[in-house]
Structure 1
Protein backbone atom coordinates (compact mmCIF):
# COMPACT_ATOMS: atom_id res chain seq x y z
CA UNK A 1 0.00 0.00 0.00
CA UNK A 2 2.75 2.45 0.88
CA UNK A 3 2.50 5.93 2.41
CA UNK A 4 -0.30 8.28 1.39
CA UNK A 5 0.39 11.60 -0.33
CA UNK A 6 -0.34 13.30 2.99
CA UNK A 7 2.31 11.18 4.70
CA UNK A 8 4.82 11.77 1.92
CA UNK A 9 4.29 15.52 2.22
CA UNK A 10 4.67 15.44 6.01
CA UNK A 11 7.79 13.25 5.75
CA UNK A 12 9.53 15.58 3.32
CA UNK A 13 8.50 18.77 5.13
CA UNK A 14 9.45 17.40 8.56
CA UNK A 15 12.97 18.82 8.50
CA UNK A 16 15.28 15.85 8.09
CA UNK A 17 15.82 16.74 4.42
CA UNK A 18 17.19 20.18 3.55
CA UNK A 19 14.90 22.41 1.50
CA UNK A 20 14.73 25.89 0.06
CA UNK A 21 12.62 28.82 1.22
CA UNK A 22 11.74 31.83 -0.90
CA UNK A 23 9.11 34.50 -1.24
CA UNK A 24 6.32 33.24 -3.47
CA UNK A 25 7.06 35.77 -6.22
CA UNK A 26 10.87 35.56 -5.98
CA UNK A 27 13.56 33.34 -7.45
CA UNK A 28 16.01 34.07 -4.61
CA UNK A 29 16.18 31.38 -1.93
CA UNK A 30 16.69 32.34 1.71
CA UNK A 31 19.44 30.35 3.48
CA UNK A 32 17.32 29.31 6.43
CA UNK A 33 17.13 25.99 8.35
CA UNK A 34 13.65 24.53 8.54
CA UNK A 35 11.60 21.93 10.36
CA UNK A 36 7.87 21.49 10.97
CA UNK A 37 5.61 21.42 13.99
CA UNK A 38 3.09 18.72 14.94
CA UNK A 39 0.60 20.03 12.38
CA UNK A 40 3.13 20.19 9.55
CA UNK A 41 3.50 23.97 9.66
CA UNK A 42 7.05 24.87 8.58
CA UNK A 43 9.31 26.47 11.17
CA UNK A 44 12.13 28.73 9.96
CA UNK A 45 15.14 29.62 12.12
CA UNK A 46 17.05 32.91 11.78
CA UNK A 47 19.65 34.78 13.79
CA UNK A 48 18.11 37.92 15.28
CA UNK A 49 19.04 40.98 13.22
CA UNK A 50 20.51 38.96 10.36
CA UNK A 51 19.59 39.58 6.74
CA UNK A 52 17.39 36.50 6.75
CA UNK A 53 15.60 37.73 9.88
CA UNK A 54 15.01 41.13 8.28
CA UNK A 55 13.77 39.54 5.06
CA UNK A 56 11.36 37.23 6.85
CA UNK A 57 10.16 40.03 9.14
CA UNK A 58 9.43 42.17 6.09
CA UNK A 59 7.53 39.38 4.38
CA UNK A 60 5.55 38.73 7.56
CA UNK A 61 4.74 42.44 7.97
CA UNK A 62 3.55 42.74 4.35
CA UNK A 63 1.81 39.33 4.51
CA UNK A 64 3.76 37.99 1.55
CA UNK A 65 3.62 34.17 1.31
CA UNK A 66 6.75 32.07 1.36
CA UNK A 67 7.26 28.69 -0.28
CA UNK A 68 9.16 25.81 1.31
CA UNK A 69 10.32 23.31 -1.33
CA UNK A 70 11.86 19.97 -0.37
CA UNK A 71 13.05 17.29 -2.77
CA UNK A 72 13.40 13.69 -1.66
CA UNK A 73 16.89 12.21 -1.54
CA UNK A 74 16.53 8.51 -2.44
CA UNK A 75 18.45 6.32 0.01
CA UNK A 76 20.29 4.14 -2.54
CA UNK A 77 21.46 4.58 -6.14
CA UNK A 78 18.50 3.57 -8.30
CA UNK A 79 15.90 3.88 -5.54
CA UNK A 80 12.62 5.49 -6.64
CA UNK A 81 12.01 9.01 -5.38
CA UNK A 82 9.16 10.04 -3.11
CA UNK A 83 9.05 13.25 -5.15
CA UNK A 84 8.84 16.87 -4.03
CA UNK A 85 6.70 18.90 -1.65
CA UNK A 86 5.89 22.60 -1.79
CA UNK A 87 4.29 24.22 1.23
CA UNK A 88 3.05 27.79 0.72
CA UNK A 89 1.90 30.06 3.53
CA UNK A 90 2.29 33.27 5.48
CA UNK A 91 5.30 33.61 7.81
CA UNK A 92 4.64 34.72 11.39
CA UNK A 93 7.45 35.72 13.75
CA UNK A 94 6.94 33.91 17.05
CA UNK A 95 7.41 35.78 20.31
CA UNK A 96 10.16 34.45 22.61
CA UNK A 97 7.83 32.25 24.67
CA UNK A 98 6.11 30.68 21.66
CA UNK A 99 9.47 30.43 19.91
CA UNK A 100 11.05 28.44 22.71
CA UNK A 101 8.06 26.08 22.73
CA UNK A 102 8.29 25.62 18.95
CA UNK A 103 12.04 25.00 19.24
CA UNK A 104 11.29 21.63 20.86
CA UNK A 105 9.29 20.57 17.78
CA UNK A 106 12.07 21.88 15.53
CA UNK A 107 14.73 19.90 17.41
CA UNK A 108 12.91 16.60 16.89
CA UNK A 109 13.80 16.70 13.21
CA UNK A 110 16.61 19.21 12.85
CA UNK A 111 18.56 19.77 16.09
CA UNK A 112 20.75 22.69 15.00
CA UNK A 113 22.81 24.56 17.58
CA UNK A 114 21.07 27.93 17.09
CA UNK A 115 17.91 26.50 18.67
CA UNK A 116 19.56 27.04 22.05
CA UNK A 117 19.48 30.79 21.36
CA UNK A 118 15.79 31.07 20.40
CA UNK A 119 14.24 33.89 22.36
CA UNK A 120 17.65 35.50 22.94
CA UNK A 121 19.69 35.89 19.75
CA UNK A 122 17.69 33.68 17.39
CA UNK A 123 14.05 33.74 16.25
CA UNK A 124 11.62 31.23 14.89
CA UNK A 125 9.04 31.94 12.20
CA UNK A 126 6.03 29.69 11.70
CA UNK A 127 4.46 29.39 8.26
CA UNK A 128 0.66 29.32 8.39
CA UNK A 129 -0.16 26.88 5.62
CA UNK A 130 -2.26 28.05 2.68
CA UNK A 131 -1.50 25.35 0.11
CA UNK A 132 0.41 22.07 -0.05
CA UNK A 133 1.41 20.49 -3.33
CA UNK A 134 3.19 17.18 -3.85
CA UNK A 135 4.86 15.95 -7.01
CA UNK A 136 4.74 12.15 -6.89
CA UNK A 137 5.39 9.80 -9.81
CA UNK A 138 5.66 12.78 -12.17
CA UNK A 139 2.26 14.24 -11.26
CA UNK A 140 1.48 17.28 -9.11
CA UNK A 141 -1.28 16.92 -6.50
CA UNK A 142 -2.88 19.70 -4.43
CA UNK A 143 -3.55 18.33 -0.96
CA UNK A 144 -6.38 19.05 1.42
CA UNK A 145 -4.91 21.17 4.21
CA UNK A 146 -6.73 19.31 6.98
CA UNK A 147 -5.53 15.96 5.62
CA UNK A 148 -1.98 17.28 5.48
CA UNK A 149 -2.15 18.53 9.08
CA UNK A 150 -3.50 15.17 10.26
CA UNK A 151 -0.82 13.16 8.42
CA UNK A 152 2.28 11.80 10.12
CA UNK A 153 5.92 11.79 9.00
CA UNK A 154 7.26 8.30 8.38
CA UNK A 155 9.08 7.12 11.53
CA UNK A 156 11.63 5.08 9.54
CA UNK A 157 12.62 7.84 7.12
CA UNK A 158 15.56 9.11 9.19
CA UNK A 159 17.05 5.59 9.39
CA UNK A 160 15.96 4.32 5.96
CA UNK A 161 19.37 4.52 4.28
CA UNK A 162 21.16 2.85 7.19
CA UNK A 163 18.55 0.09 7.50
CA UNK A 164 18.60 -0.73 3.78
CA UNK A 165 22.41 -0.72 3.74
CA UNK A 166 22.45 -3.08 6.72
CA UNK A 167 20.03 -5.46 5.01
CA UNK A 168 22.10 -5.42 1.81
CA UNK A 169 25.41 -5.83 3.62
CA UNK A 170 24.51 -8.48 6.20
CA UNK A 171 21.20 -10.11 5.27
CA UNK A 172 20.89 -9.92 1.48
CA UNK A 173 20.19 -13.64 1.03
CA UNK A 174 17.63 -13.82 3.83
CA UNK A 175 15.70 -10.68 2.91
CA UNK A 176 15.79 -11.60 -0.78
CA UNK A 177 14.30 -15.02 -0.06
CA UNK A 178 11.64 -13.48 2.15
CA UNK A 179 10.63 -10.93 -0.49
CA UNK A 180 10.53 -13.54 -3.28
CA UNK A 181 8.35 -15.77 -1.11
CA UNK A 182 5.95 -12.93 -0.33
CA UNK A 183 5.73 -11.88 -3.98
CA UNK A 184 5.18 -15.47 -5.14
CA UNK A 185 2.36 -15.86 -2.60
CA UNK A 186 0.76 -12.73 -4.09
CA UNK A 187 0.94 -14.23 -7.60
CA UNK A 188 4.15 -12.52 -8.76
CA UNK A 189 6.97 -15.07 -8.89
CA UNK A 190 10.35 -13.41 -9.49
CA UNK A 191 13.97 -14.54 -9.57
CA UNK A 192 15.37 -11.39 -7.96
CA UNK A 193 13.96 -9.12 -5.26
CA UNK A 194 15.99 -6.28 -3.75
CA UNK A 195 14.58 -3.83 -1.17
CA UNK A 196 15.16 -0.30 -2.45
CA UNK A 197 12.89 1.73 -0.18
CA UNK A 198 11.55 1.17 3.30
CA UNK A 199 8.69 2.86 5.15
CA UNK A 200 6.40 2.07 8.05
CA UNK A 201 4.13 0.02 5.77
CA UNK A 202 6.74 -2.17 4.07
CA UNK A 203 9.27 -2.39 1.26
CA UNK A 204 9.44 -1.08 -2.28
CA UNK A 205 11.20 -3.88 -4.13
CA UNK A 206 13.19 -3.92 -7.37
CA UNK A 207 12.68 -7.08 -9.41
CA UNK A 208 14.64 -6.06 -12.51
CA UNK A 209 14.25 -3.88 -15.61
CA UNK A 210 12.84 -0.92 -13.69
CA UNK A 211 9.93 -2.92 -12.27
CA UNK A 212 8.81 -2.08 -8.72
CA UNK A 213 6.58 -4.03 -6.38
CA UNK A 214 5.31 -3.45 -2.85
CA UNK A 215 5.73 -5.99 -0.07
CA UNK A 216 3.76 -4.72 2.91
CA UNK A 217 4.11 -5.65 6.56
CA UNK A 218 1.21 -7.33 8.37
CA UNK A 219 0.72 -4.02 10.20
CA UNK A 220 2.51 -0.66 10.12
CA UNK A 221 5.57 -0.38 12.38
CA UNK A 222 6.11 2.52 14.74
CA UNK A 223 9.90 2.68 14.78
CA UNK A 224 13.11 0.83 13.95
CA UNK A 225 12.74 -1.31 17.08
CA UNK A 226 9.37 -2.64 15.92
CA UNK A 227 10.87 -3.30 12.49
CA UNK A 228 13.71 -5.30 14.06
CA UNK A 229 11.23 -7.38 16.03
CA UNK A 230 9.12 -7.98 12.93
CA UNK A 231 12.07 -9.13 10.79
CA UNK A 232 14.01 -11.01 13.48
CA UNK A 233 12.65 -14.42 12.54
CA UNK A 234 13.22 -13.80 8.84
CA UNK A 235 16.81 -12.63 9.20
CA UNK A 236 18.06 -15.00 11.90
CA UNK A 237 15.85 -18.10 11.78
CA UNK A 238 14.81 -18.34 8.14
CA UNK A 239 11.12 -17.84 8.88
CA UNK A 240 9.59 -17.08 5.47
Structure 2
Protein backbone atom coordinates (compact mmCIF):
# COMPACT_ATOMS: atom_id res chain seq x y z
CA UNK A 1 0.00 0.00 0.00
CA UNK A 2 0.98 3.61 -0.55
CA UNK A 3 -0.49 6.90 0.69
CA UNK A 4 -3.41 8.11 -1.39
CA UNK A 5 -3.28 11.60 -2.95
CA UNK A 6 -5.80 12.75 -0.33
CA UNK A 7 -3.58 11.45 2.49
CA UNK A 8 -0.50 13.13 1.02
CA UNK A 9 -2.43 16.38 0.65
CA UNK A 10 -3.51 16.23 4.29
CA UNK A 11 0.06 15.45 5.34
CA UNK A 12 1.51 18.37 3.40
CA UNK A 13 -1.14 20.81 4.64
CA UNK A 14 -1.07 19.68 8.28
CA UNK A 15 0.97 22.68 9.40
CA UNK A 16 4.54 21.38 9.62
CA UNK A 17 5.71 22.90 6.33
CA UNK A 18 6.09 26.52 5.18
CA UNK A 19 3.11 27.90 3.30
CA UNK A 20 2.26 30.99 1.30
CA UNK A 21 -1.18 32.44 0.67
CA UNK A 22 -2.44 33.82 -2.62
CA UNK A 23 -5.27 36.15 -1.61
CA UNK A 24 -7.91 37.34 -4.05
CA UNK A 25 -7.30 40.83 -5.44
CA UNK A 26 -4.18 41.29 -3.32
CA UNK A 27 -0.46 41.30 -4.20
CA UNK A 28 1.36 38.19 -3.12
CA UNK A 29 2.13 35.50 -2.32
CA UNK A 30 2.30 36.14 1.43
CA UNK A 31 3.97 33.78 3.95
CA UNK A 32 1.41 32.49 6.47
CA UNK A 33 1.39 30.36 9.62
CA UNK A 34 -1.22 27.65 9.52
CA UNK A 35 -2.41 24.24 10.68
CA UNK A 36 -5.35 22.08 9.69
CA UNK A 37 -7.93 20.86 12.19
CA UNK A 38 -9.40 17.36 12.43
CA UNK A 39 -11.86 18.16 9.61
CA UNK A 40 -9.12 19.43 7.31
CA UNK A 41 -10.15 23.07 7.68
CA UNK A 42 -7.24 25.50 7.57
CA UNK A 43 -6.55 27.68 10.61
CA UNK A 44 -4.46 30.79 9.95
CA UNK A 45 -2.61 32.57 12.77
CA UNK A 46 -2.12 36.15 11.65
CA UNK A 47 -0.50 39.21 13.29
CA UNK A 48 -3.26 41.78 13.81
CA UNK A 49 -1.07 44.53 12.37
CA UNK A 50 0.55 43.86 9.04
CA UNK A 51 0.20 43.01 5.38
CA UNK A 52 -1.54 39.67 5.86
CA UNK A 53 -4.25 40.96 8.19
CA UNK A 54 -4.96 43.82 5.79
CA UNK A 55 -5.12 41.43 2.83
CA UNK A 56 -7.58 39.14 4.64
CA UNK A 57 -9.91 41.99 5.53
CA UNK A 58 -13.21 41.37 3.66
CA UNK A 59 -14.41 43.80 1.03
CA UNK A 60 -17.68 44.71 -0.66
CA UNK A 61 -19.79 43.74 2.34
CA UNK A 62 -18.55 40.15 2.49
CA UNK A 63 -17.60 38.45 5.75
CA UNK A 64 -14.97 36.16 4.22
CA UNK A 65 -12.03 36.33 1.80
CA UNK A 66 -11.06 33.92 -0.99
CA UNK A 67 -7.52 32.57 -0.92
CA UNK A 68 -5.31 29.70 -2.02
CA UNK A 69 -2.81 28.12 0.34
CA UNK A 70 0.30 26.89 -1.47
CA UNK A 71 2.47 24.29 0.32
CA UNK A 72 5.56 22.53 -1.04
CA UNK A 73 7.09 19.45 0.51
CA UNK A 74 10.52 19.73 2.13
CA UNK A 75 12.21 16.32 1.80
CA UNK A 76 13.90 15.06 4.98
CA UNK A 77 17.23 14.34 3.26
CA UNK A 78 19.05 15.74 0.24
CA UNK A 79 18.70 12.33 -1.44
CA UNK A 80 14.98 12.03 -0.64
CA UNK A 81 12.42 12.55 -3.41
CA UNK A 82 9.82 15.23 -2.86
CA UNK A 83 6.18 14.39 -2.19
CA UNK A 84 5.20 17.33 -4.37
CA UNK A 85 3.01 20.33 -3.76
CA UNK A 86 -0.56 21.00 -2.70
CA UNK A 87 -2.91 23.94 -3.26
CA UNK A 88 -5.85 24.28 -0.86
CA UNK A 89 -8.49 26.82 -1.88
CA UNK A 90 -11.42 28.26 0.03
CA UNK A 91 -12.80 31.21 1.96
CA UNK A 92 -11.32 32.47 5.22
CA UNK A 93 -13.28 34.20 7.98
CA UNK A 94 -11.96 35.74 11.17
CA UNK A 95 -12.94 33.91 14.35
CA UNK A 96 -13.88 35.66 17.57
CA UNK A 97 -15.18 34.77 21.02
CA UNK A 98 -15.91 31.10 21.72
CA UNK A 99 -15.21 30.14 18.12
CA UNK A 100 -11.71 31.61 18.37
CA UNK A 101 -11.04 29.90 21.70
CA UNK A 102 -12.16 26.51 20.40
CA UNK A 103 -10.11 26.93 17.22
CA UNK A 104 -7.06 27.94 19.28
CA UNK A 105 -7.25 24.59 21.06
CA UNK A 106 -7.40 22.85 17.67
CA UNK A 107 -4.40 24.88 16.53
CA UNK A 108 -2.46 23.93 19.66
CA UNK A 109 -2.94 20.24 18.89
CA UNK A 110 -0.46 20.73 16.04
CA UNK A 111 1.49 23.82 17.10
CA UNK A 112 1.22 24.91 20.73
CA UNK A 113 2.87 28.27 20.16
CA UNK A 114 2.77 31.10 22.64
CA UNK A 115 1.11 33.48 20.17
CA UNK A 116 -2.16 31.61 20.69
CA UNK A 117 -2.40 33.36 24.07
CA UNK A 118 -2.62 36.72 22.30
CA UNK A 119 -5.54 35.98 19.97
CA UNK A 120 -7.82 38.99 19.87
CA UNK A 121 -4.94 41.34 20.66
CA UNK A 122 -1.64 41.02 18.78
CA UNK A 123 -2.85 37.93 16.88
CA UNK A 124 -5.94 37.03 14.87
CA UNK A 125 -7.23 33.57 14.01
CA UNK A 126 -8.93 32.77 10.73
CA UNK A 127 -10.57 29.57 9.58
CA UNK A 128 -10.72 28.61 5.92
CA UNK A 129 -13.39 26.18 4.77
CA UNK A 130 -11.88 24.06 2.00
CA UNK A 131 -13.56 24.24 -1.41
CA UNK A 132 -10.89 22.81 -3.72
CA UNK A 133 -7.72 20.73 -3.33
CA UNK A 134 -5.12 20.18 -6.05
CA UNK A 135 -2.07 17.97 -5.66
CA UNK A 136 0.92 18.08 -8.00
CA UNK A 137 3.82 15.64 -8.21
CA UNK A 138 6.25 15.04 -11.05
CA UNK A 139 4.25 17.43 -13.23
CA UNK A 140 1.05 15.40 -12.73
CA UNK A 141 -1.85 17.42 -11.34
CA UNK A 142 -4.61 15.63 -9.43
CA UNK A 143 -7.92 17.17 -8.37
CA UNK A 144 -8.86 15.79 -4.94
CA UNK A 145 -12.46 15.67 -3.77
CA UNK A 146 -12.75 17.95 -0.71
CA UNK A 147 -14.68 15.22 1.12
CA UNK A 148 -11.89 12.69 0.49
CA UNK A 149 -9.41 15.27 1.71
CA UNK A 150 -11.44 15.93 4.87
CA UNK A 151 -11.73 12.22 5.65
CA UNK A 152 -8.02 11.54 5.19
CA UNK A 153 -5.56 11.91 8.07
CA UNK A 154 -2.00 13.29 8.07
CA UNK A 155 0.79 10.73 8.20
CA UNK A 156 1.78 10.12 11.85
CA UNK A 157 5.48 9.71 10.94
CA UNK A 158 5.90 12.95 8.98
CA UNK A 159 7.14 15.05 11.89
CA UNK A 160 9.74 12.43 12.89
CA UNK A 161 10.68 11.20 9.41
CA UNK A 162 14.09 12.92 9.44
CA UNK A 163 14.95 11.48 12.86
CA UNK A 164 13.91 7.97 11.82
CA UNK A 165 15.88 8.00 8.58
CA UNK A 166 18.92 9.54 10.27
CA UNK A 167 18.84 6.86 12.97
CA UNK A 168 18.74 4.09 10.37
CA UNK A 169 21.63 5.70 8.47
CA UNK A 170 23.72 6.18 11.61
CA UNK A 171 23.09 2.90 13.41
CA UNK A 172 21.40 0.28 11.23
CA UNK A 173 22.84 0.48 7.71
CA UNK A 174 24.04 -3.13 7.63
CA UNK A 175 20.82 -4.58 9.04
CA UNK A 176 18.62 -2.62 6.64
CA UNK A 177 20.84 -3.43 3.67
CA UNK A 178 20.75 -7.16 4.41
CA UNK A 179 17.00 -7.08 4.93
CA UNK A 180 16.28 -5.21 1.70
CA UNK A 181 18.47 -7.55 -0.33
CA UNK A 182 16.73 -10.58 1.14
CA UNK A 183 13.32 -9.12 0.35
CA UNK A 184 14.22 -8.19 -3.23
CA UNK A 185 15.95 -11.47 -3.98
CA UNK A 186 17.06 -11.60 -7.64
CA UNK A 187 15.99 -7.98 -8.14
CA UNK A 188 18.90 -6.90 -5.94
CA UNK A 189 22.10 -6.41 -7.93
CA UNK A 190 25.72 -6.87 -6.87
CA UNK A 191 27.06 -3.63 -5.46
CA UNK A 192 23.66 -2.34 -4.32
CA UNK A 193 23.89 -0.27 -1.15
CA UNK A 194 20.27 0.26 -0.06
CA UNK A 195 19.51 3.47 1.83
CA UNK A 196 16.14 4.48 3.26
CA UNK A 197 15.22 7.90 1.82
CA UNK A 198 11.51 8.26 2.72
CA UNK A 199 9.16 6.74 5.26
CA UNK A 200 5.42 6.86 5.91
CA UNK A 201 2.72 4.88 7.71
CA UNK A 202 2.58 2.30 4.92
CA UNK A 203 6.28 1.57 4.40
CA UNK A 204 9.57 3.04 3.26
CA UNK A 205 11.35 3.92 0.05
CA UNK A 206 14.89 2.60 -0.41
CA UNK A 207 17.39 4.04 -2.86
CA UNK A 208 19.31 1.15 -4.43
CA UNK A 209 21.55 3.06 -6.80
CA UNK A 210 21.61 6.15 -8.95
CA UNK A 211 18.41 5.36 -10.86
CA UNK A 212 16.88 2.48 -8.93
CA UNK A 213 14.65 2.35 -5.89
CA UNK A 214 12.38 -0.09 -4.10
CA UNK A 215 9.39 0.43 -1.88
CA UNK A 216 8.93 -1.95 1.05
CA UNK A 217 5.50 -2.09 2.65
CA UNK A 218 4.57 -2.78 6.25
CA UNK A 219 1.99 -5.54 6.82
CA UNK A 220 -0.35 -2.86 8.16
CA UNK A 221 -0.26 0.93 8.52
CA UNK A 222 1.68 2.03 11.59
CA UNK A 223 0.01 4.33 14.10
CA UNK A 224 3.01 6.12 15.59
CA UNK A 225 6.75 5.96 16.22
CA UNK A 226 6.43 3.29 18.91
CA UNK A 227 4.34 1.09 16.63
CA UNK A 228 6.98 1.49 13.94
CA UNK A 229 9.73 0.43 16.37
CA UNK A 230 7.75 -2.71 17.14
CA UNK A 231 7.46 -3.61 13.45
CA UNK A 232 11.12 -2.87 12.69
CA UNK A 233 12.52 -4.72 15.69
CA UNK A 234 12.86 -8.10 13.88
CA UNK A 235 14.84 -6.32 11.13
CA UNK A 236 17.13 -4.25 13.33
CA UNK A 237 17.77 -6.89 16.00
CA UNK A 238 20.64 -9.11 14.80
CA UNK A 239 19.44 -12.00 16.95
CA UNK A 240 16.04 -12.05 15.24
CA UNK A 241 15.54 -13.94 12.00
CA UNK A 242 11.94 -13.08 11.25
CA UNK A 243 11.36 -11.48 7.87
CA UNK A 244 7.70 -10.80 8.54
CA UNK A 245 7.91 -7.06 9.17
CA UNK A 246 7.28 -6.03 5.54
CA UNK A 247 6.50 -7.03 1.99
CA UNK A 248 7.93 -5.23 -1.02
CA UNK A 249 7.43 -3.85 -4.46
CA UNK A 250 10.38 -2.86 -6.62
CA UNK A 251 10.44 0.35 -8.62
TM-score above 0.5:
yes
Point out where structure 2 has 5 or more consecutive residues left out of the alignment: 244-251
Contact 1:32 1:45 in 2 (8 A): yes
1:41 is matched with 41
- Secondary structure of the equivalent of 1:164? helix
More helix by share: 1
- Aligned-residue offset at 1:207: 1.2
| TM-score after normalising by structure 1 | 0.92
- Aligned-residue offset at 1:26: 4.5
**C-alpha distance in 2 between matches for 1:64 and 1:99:** 17
Point out where structure 1 has 5 or more consecutive residues left out of the alignment: none
Cα deviation code 1:53-76 (max 9, x no counterpart): 232123693644111111000111
**C-alpha distance in 2 between matches for 1:156 and 1:196:** 13
- Aligned-residue offset at 1:212: 2.3
Cα deviation code 1:82-116 (max 9, x no counterpart): 00000011111112211121112222223322112
User: Relative to structure 2, which stretch is displaced further, 135-144 or 156-165?
Assistant: 135-144
- Secondary structure of the equivalent of 2:127? strand
- In angstroms, what is the RMSD of aligned CA positions? 1.9
**C-alpha distance in 1 between matches for 2:15 and 2:146:** 19
Cα deviation code 1:125-166 (max 9, x no counterpart): 011111100002321111011000000100000000010000
- Secondary structure of the equivalent of 2:58? helix
Contact 1:183 1:215 in 2 (8 A): no
User: Relative to structure 2, which stretch is displaced further, 105-114 or 144-153?
Assistant: 105-114
- Aligned-residue offset at 1:210: 2.2
| TM-score after normalising by structure 2 | 0.88
Contact 1:67 1:88 in 2 (8 A): yes
1:105 is matched with 106
> Does structure 1 residue 217 correspond to structure 2 residue 218?
yes
- Aligned-residue offset at 1:175: 1.3
2:29 is matched with 29
Contact 1:96 1:120 in 2 (8 A): no
1:19 is matched with 19
2:10 is matched with 10
* 1:55 to 1:25, Cα distance in 2 relative to 1, 3 A: closer
